Structure 1
């Protein structure tokens, strides 16, 4: 029983050490990843707003954009 308690404590300490190493050593990589995800989200939002504006102001241009980017997989290659 005492051995099991010590093993659980040891694994908990190893887990805390591993999490600490991830956020200390790889903190820059984790931060860069979140920054890139935020940037991609902003680009998608701005692109969607621009497309919506083009769709409202010039439906023909929006249809050409949609035809250019929306195709089946076979027609793209």
Structure 2
């Protein structure tokens, strides 16, 4: 399927778009977990959302904690 063929759920309103996304995820059995990370001293709203079973692989660098099996699977899914 090409990118252009994917449905566009954008409403032009970020809050509504997030509600639509959350509803679509939950309808498909994915339940977001929210962590409020705003620091009072900075007063910048920050939220981290984790969706179990949809986590992305972390960036691989010298500090990554991967075993050989995980790295082998990573290489399989990134093959072009």
Same fold (TM over 0.5): no
Structure number with larger C-alpha Rg: 1
The TM tier, using the shorter chain, reads: under 0.3
TM-score for the superposition, normalised by structure 2: 0.26
Normalising by structure 1, we get a TM-score of 0.27
